[in-house]
Structure formats: C-alpha cells, structure tokens
Amino acid sequence: MFAEMSDDRRYDVEAFVCDDKFYSAADFMGKPVYRASDIERHFPPGSLKVISTGVYASPRERYYSYLQMKAKGYQFINYISRKATVANNVVMGENNIIFSGVYLDFFGRLGNSNIIRPNTYVGHDFNIHNGVYISPGCHIAGYSTIEDLSFIGISSTILERLTIRTETLIGAKTLITKDTVPYSQYVGSPAKKIKTHKQTGIIL
C-alpha cells in the first residue's frame, strides 16, 4: 500500500507507527518509524490524519490496532486507489483500504477498517461490516453480507444473497454456496466447513 500511496499526490506519508511488540527498526522505506506507545509525543492527535493497516494475518489484531489509535483521539482517512472503481452511492466508514482494480458496485455499505485487495469485485447492495480482509481476485455477488473480522482467501467466490458470519475464515479458491457459521473455517469448491475456532479476543 505504501508504494501506491507514495505515487499518489493526494497523500503525503509522514511516518509509520508500529505496535511496541513488533518494533525493530527506526525507519522504513526512508520514513521514520515510531512506537505506538510514543506516537502522541511526535504527532499529537489533531496534527494529522492516519490510516491503520495493522497485522494482515490476524483480523482481530488488525482491528484492535485501529481501535487503539482511535481511542487516542486520532482521525482516520480512507485510502482508495485511483485505479479502483467505487460507485458514488456506496456508504463508507473510515480506515478502509481499497487497492487498485477493486470494483465496488452500487448501493453497498462498507464499515470501518476493512482491506480489499487488488482485482476484487463486490456486487451491488453488499454489506461489509468491520475489520474484514478480502484477498486479491475475489468475486462477491450482489446482496452479500460479510460480518465482522472475517477473512476471505485469494480468488474465492461468494454467491448472491449469502451471509458470511462473524469471524469466518475462508481458504483460497473457495466457492461459498451457503451461509457460513460464526467462528468457522471453510475450504473447497463447493465449500466445506473444516473446523471452528474459539471465540476470543475483543468484543465489537
């Protein structure tokens, strides 16, 4: 994402912020890196707007990182690539990242802190909640609902009018033909539930 934003004159990247437990270097790609616990000393809330990408491998941790920055009083932007298409009546929250080649169709709703990777199509009247990660090359048909903290694997397909329940994990190239069960994992074409995972972590 930094490479896209660096080439986009709408944005000026000042610095990076890293959770303390992952901090290992004072600079990244020519920009300073600050510990999350120390960021207010360098950039007080109100001095600039931020976008939180967090930990890609964990929707829970990524969303929690966003909530921590929000609790400090920071304001968030949405990053929408110039090479993405977003219908003008899509209702969108904050801290969303929309990569190049994404197409968001009409009358959709997008909550907060979602990531939609390149070359993904999301059909009309969609409803994507919060903290969702959608991998590259996915096809999501109209009237679909994706609930909080779900992960959609690369090149997966979700058929029309289905609901992906809270914290569903969908493997690569999976075809979803039925509503999922919360806190479950699916793979295959058509999809099969292979296991569930314990409900832990933050409460939305």
Mean pLDDT of 49-69: 82
Mean pLDDT of 120-130: 98
Cβ contact 110:134 at 8 Å: no
Q: What is the pLDDT of residues 17-28, one digit of tens each?
A: 888 888 899 998
For residue 204, pLDDT over 50 is answered with: no
Q: Which CATH number fits domain 79-188: 3.10.20.30, 2.160.10.10, 2.40.50.140, 3.10.28.10?
A: 2.160.10.10
Percent of the chain with pLDDT over 90: 70
Cα–Cα distance list, 125 to 74, 90, 163, 164, 169 (Å): 30, 9, 13, 15, 22
Provide the sign of the torsion angle of the four alpha carbons 7, 9, 11, 13, taken in this order. positive
Q: What letters, b where the CB count within 10 A reaches 16 and e where it falls short, cover 150-169? A: bbbbbebbbbeebbbbbbbb
65: DSSP letter: H
For residue 45, pLDDT over 50 is answered with: yes
The pTM score is: 0.91
Q: Residue ranges of the domains in the chain?
A: 11-76, 79-188
Banded pLDDT at 203 (limits 50, 70, 90): very low
